Amino acid sequence: MKMTQQLDQTLSPQIHIIDGKEFAETLRQSVAIGARAFREKRGRAPGLAVVLVGQDPASQVYVRTKMKKALESGIDSFPHLLDSSTSQADLLQLIEKLNNDRYVHGILVQLPLPAHIDESKIITAIDPAKDVDGFHPINVGLLGQGKASLVPCTPLGCLMMLKDHLGNLSGKKAVIVGRSNIVGKPMANLLLQENCTVTIVHSRTEDLYSECRQADILVVAMGKAEFINAGAIKPGAVVIDVGINRVDKGGRSVLVGDVDFDSVGPVAGAITPVPGGVGPMTVACLMGNTLAAAEAIERDRAARY
Ligand code: NDP
């Protein structure tokens, strides 16, 4: 399945788009087939609990999107929309309840949490088998050791698009801009597993642009609108733009990535757009992780009884 298209020749003669939206839809359909088989075998659907604390507008949009995609994928979603004043103790109690709920196979706590709640305590309280975001220290450790685990959805989606476009990644030089626990670090581990030569650059890197220019694969996750321009790109490199930034353009509020698409597109071998690139793949991978978690949990349960 190749999800790369050449953009309309009359608009941009050389830009190859990696279409995350189309790829995500294909992935979601295959999850839906798996979820149907699961329901037939187990008598219930895979279940995803979605926990949101507070009324952050962006988080509300993400949670709505995840629940809609769960429904379309044949996954039951159980929303827990909590007031911003919810205490850490109450949230921990809810996580404990969800850990023990037979109908819940995946637990997603939408980040960021309000400042009075310690995110790492909440993530660590989630049963690693239900940690569909892949943020629990056990899953982080397994990924670092190159063992099967629930892998964070955003880097997993990036890897799928890279493999779809390039095939074998072995020997490629990959540069990742950003070292967050959610994107940069797990992305580095995944690319190492594919035998790439991996460099991570960050805010203290000297001459970030010359590092980026070495890359056959450039993954950018920094949260700085249109920061990376053509001067950072080796001609023909595959560029994955993870960034989501809302900016004002000509009086209109629009979403842009961390990559300056107009300047980078013609130099890159292929590029993911924003929106329509990494974002939809992140949600589709969450559904894939929920199905995988459900299958593993029920397999374990069946083996025990
Ligand atoms: P973080 O803020 O956690 O990390 C940003 C990273 O970028 C840090 O490592 C930081 O370096 C580095 N950085 C920031 N500014 C610079 C700079 N000027 N030069 C070099 N490095 C820099 O962000 P996330 O990883 O969580 O997210 C990154 C972006 O991806 C955001 O726009 C976010 O919205 C988006 N995102 C999109 C997702 C999707 O589904 N499409 C999912 C998750 C995130 P240092 O460590 O030194 O501070």
How far away, in angstroms, is 171 Cα from ligand 1 center?
26
Which of 75, 34, 43 minimizes the C-alpha distance to 302?
43
pLDDT in tens, 195-216: 999 999 999 999 999 999 999 9
4 found inside a domain: no
- Could you tell me the maximum CA-CA distance found in the chain, to the nearest angstrom? 63
Per-residue DSSP letters for 52-93? EES--HHHHHHHHHHHHHHHHTT-EEEEEEE-TT--HHHHHH
Q: Please count the other Cβ atoms lying within 10 Å of the Cβ belonging to residue 247.
A: 11
Q: Please count the other Cβ atoms lying within 10 Å of the Cβ belonging to residue 80.
A: 18
Same domain as 176, residue 272: yes
Burial, 263: exposed, middle or buried (Cβ in 10 Å; 0-12, 13-18, 19+)? middle
Catalytic residue check, 55: no
Distance separating alpha carbons of residues 152 and 144, to the nearest angstrom: 12
Same domain as 73, residue 163: no
What is the dihedral angle through the alpha carbons of 287, 289, 293, 296, rounded to the nearest 10 degrees?
120
Domain count, the chain: 2
Same domain as 123, residue 156: no
- Give yes or no for residue 88 CB within 6 A of ligand 1: no
301 found inside a domain: no
- Give yes or no for residue 278 CB within 6 A of ligand 1: yes
User: If you average pLDDT over residues 7-17, what whole number do you get?
Assistant: 64
pLDDT in tens, 36-75: 999 999 999 999 999 999 999 999 999 999 999 999 999 9
191 found inside a domain: yes
Same domain as 219, residue 158: yes
Catalytic residue check, 93: no
User: If you average pLDDT over residues 151-159, what whole number do you get?
Assistant: 98
Rounded mean pLDDT of the chain?
95
Same domain as 123, residue 172: no
Tell me the best of 108, 156, 160, 180 to mutate to test the pocket of ligand 1, counting ligand atoms within 8 Å of each CB and taking the most: 180
Same domain as 170, residue 92: no
Same domain as 254, residue 164: yes
How far away, in angstroms, is 298 Cα from ligand 1 center?
36
Same domain as 164, residue 99: no
- Sign of CA pseudo-dihedral 11, 15, 20, 23: positive
- Domain span including residue 239: 152-279
CATH assignment at residue 50 = 3.40.50.10860
Same domain as 219, residue 186: yes
Give this prediction's pTM.
Answer: 0.95
CATH assignment at residue 201 = 3.40.50.720
269 found inside a domain: yes
pLDDT band at 9 (very low <50, low <70, confident <90, very high): very low
Angle at 222 between CA 237 and CA 195, to 5 degrees: 45
51 found inside a domain: yes
- Nearest alpha carbon, ligand 1 atom 16: 203
CA distances from 274 to 13, 98, 101, 183 (A): 19, 34, 37, 16
Same domain as 186, residue 109: no
Same domain as 167, residue 112: no
Same domain as 170, residue 275: yes
232 secondary structure, DSSP code: G
Catalytic residue check, 110: yes
